[in-house]
Chain A
Amino acid sequence: MAAGSVGETLPSQITLNGGVGTASVTLKAVNLTNQTRWYTASSTWGGTNANAINVWFQVIATREAYSTRATACGYHMQGADHFVALPYGLSLCGITVNLRASPVSASSVTAVQERGPWFPHSAPTEWNPCVGPPDPYWNTTGVPRAASAPCSSNGAGIDLAGGTYDDLGLAGNPVILWRFGQ
């Protein structure tokens, strides 16, 4: 595994004592919409073992209001629907994401059907004074731009449709975990 993003840390070597050794790895990003990062364990006596590890993003989630208008993906919302919005372009439409309210809670699997929150945004309004390009934070620092942007009132990195929000048993604008894939 190579440290590819800002703030990522990984040891170059792990020393084993009695066959046991631990090391802490901080991952901040994935390539495109990959679910995992691969790592390879190599022994100085020969032999390698490659494994993949899921990369989760921990961000503030907000609830998306019901609307009779089409979403940016051209999706038509129905009642307490199930989907998420991520602050990127239309290439993410239909991509599967896995969500959890906490590391120990049950997963909810759904798809990206909307763009947001906060970015990209082409003109300032009373409700969203932010103006800026897409923010694929899962490919960079793992931290949404909105989290540190004064123009954002809640710093959210993912929007959840009403049904998805309810399935996770959320209240308010909590921090949740999400990753790409089933």
Chain B
Amino acid sequence: MFGIGKTLQTGVLALSAAVTLQGASPAEQQAAKHLPPRAVLERALAADWKPENPKTEPVVASGPIFSSKSQDLAFVYKRADRLFLRVVAGGTSPIVELDAPLPGTYCAGDPSLPAISLKDLTGRGRDQILVPTSDGATSLGIYLNIFGIESGQLKNMVSKGVIGGHDVELECAQNRPCRIVAYGRWTDAGTSAVGVYEWLGTQFVRTDKDAETYFMARLRALAESASSEQPKTMSQRANDAIQAASLFLEHHQPEAAIALCKEVLSRLEDPTKTVRRKNGIDPSKIDEVFGSDLKRGMSAVHELLGKSYESTGHHREAQVEYDLAGKLKSAK
């Protein structure tokens, strides 16, 4: 009985493998030929996925990696739960296969940065390989791995191994080499930062050139979201306000923090701009919960307004705000 079951199982697997290869792209079929023993070709969310159709595709790409005229192959495989990049030189004999380990446990592409892509980032006529991988929310986004071929060897092109970030933008339109801008998660002050990486001849190095410009653009957008006229819950409004005002203070812009806190307080007091949360709340208690939410949110914003006044030397105004924050915090 066990033997029959095992045979059937093997048959199903063999059939499934045959079907997969028949529908596979030429690059995927090539990658399958070059997979090491006990390895599995990694799959990731397709670049054009939609929520109603979250399809995956193999992490494979082909293009000029070894030289400007070659047609080479790059793919990611998993072996013993670890990710590896393999690059195969096109049309060489003997076959040249080069491997590099990758951090993270899965390939994490999106429409702006697919799970694997080839791009001439350095302006030298041959492509580098970009592979965003991740451990999940622990990475606060992705590890952007960039590899290229130098003197026949597969080389990591990032000075510190990887570029980390929640959002990573490649700025290549106007010139080469490309500039890489990596944003943190931007969900609290501690994760709100921008890193700028530039090609310095042999590797991408974090230089933070113009980083303040990118940072302030993101911060202004956050402040606009906090004070937006669009109806929001207390959480949505107060959280953005706390984050943005804290960042203005860290960046020595207390006047901007004061203006933001005042505007957000007026929005929190306006029942058409700050709305009740309802999910999971007993309908008879929605108003009570809303009142409690407002006190908590306004207390936090008054506290920040106090800090902002204090940093401009307006200690009396600061004390007024601290007192208001304290009263709201202790009110039931």
Stretch touching chain B among A5-13, A22-30, A43-51, A57-65: A57-65
Q: How long is the Cα–Cα vector from A121 to B138 in the complex, in angstroms?
A: 6
Q: List 10 A-B contacts (CB under 8 A).
A: A63-B187, A69-B109, A87-B138, A125-B163, A166-B279, A167-B279, A169-B235, A170-B239, A172-B238, A173-B188
Let me know if B68 is at the binding interface, CB within 8 A: no
Q: For residue A168, which residues in chain B have a CB less than 8 angstroms away from its CB?
A: 235
Whether B110 lies near A128 (C-beta < 8 A) is no
Q: Number of A interface residues, CB 8 Å?
A: 47
Considering only residues 135-174 of chain A, those with a C-beta below 8 Å from chain B are 153-154, 159, 163, 165-173
Partner of A67, one of B44, B141, B289: B141
Whether A166 lies near B236 (C-beta < 8 A) is yes
Whether A117 lies near B138 (C-beta < 8 A) is yes
Whether A65 lies near B239 (C-beta < 8 A) is no
Partner of A171, one of B108, B182, B238, B282: B238
Q: How long is the Cα–Cα vector from A67 to B289 in the complex, in angstroms?
A: 30
Chain B residues near A (Cβ < 8 Å): 44-45, 49, 51, 54, 103-106, 108-112, 132, 134-143, 161-166, 182, 184-188, 190-191, 193, 195, 206, 233-236, 238-239, 242, 277, 279-282, 285, 289, 292-293, 296-297, 300
Given contacts A108-B280, A127-B185, A171-B296, contact A165 B235 (CB under 8 A): yes
Q: For residue A126, which residues in chain B have a CB less than 8 angstroms away from its CB?
A: 164, 182, 184, 193, 195, 206
Q: How long is the Cα–Cα vector from A70 to B45 in the complex, in angstroms?
A: 7
Whether A127 lies near B164 (C-beta < 8 A) is yes
Q: For residue A165, which residues in chain B have a CB less than 8 angstroms away from its CB?
A: 235, 239
Whether A115 lies near B137 (C-beta < 8 A) is yes
Partner of B108, one of A62, A69, A78, A122: A69
Most buried by B among A69, A118, A121, A167: A69
Partner of B104, one of A87, A108, A122, A130: A122
A131 to chain B, nearest CB (A): 9
Q: For residue A166, which residues in chain B have a CB less than 8 angstroms away from its CB?
A: 233, 235-236, 277, 279
Let me know if A15 is at the binding interface, CB within 8 A: no
Q: How long is the Cα–Cα vector from A165 to B280 in the complex, in angstroms?
A: 12
Whether A128 lies near B236 (C-beta < 8 A) is no
B77 to chain A, nearest CB (A): 17
Let me know if A178 is at the binding interface, CB within 8 A: no
Q: For residue B45, which residues in chain A have a CB less than 8 angstroms away from its CB?
A: 69-70, 76
Q: Which residue of A lies closest to B138 (CB)?
A: A116
Given contacts A65-B187, A72-B106, A169-B277, contact A120 B233 (CB under 8 A): no
Q: For residue B280, which residues in chain A have a CB less than 8 angstroms away from its CB?
A: 106-109, 167
Q: For residue A63, which residues in chain B have a CB less than 8 angstroms away from its CB?
A: 187-188, 239
Q: How long is the Cα–Cα vector from A87 to B138 in the complex, in angstroms?
A: 8
Q: Which residue of B lies closest to A99 (CB)?
A: B280
Partner of A154, one of B106, B136, B142, B190: B190
Q: For residue B132, which residues in chain A have a CB less than 8 angstroms away from its CB?
A: 69
Q: How long is the Cα–Cα vector from A124 to B6 in the complex, in angstroms?
A: 44
Partner of B111, one of A68, A72, A123, A127: A68
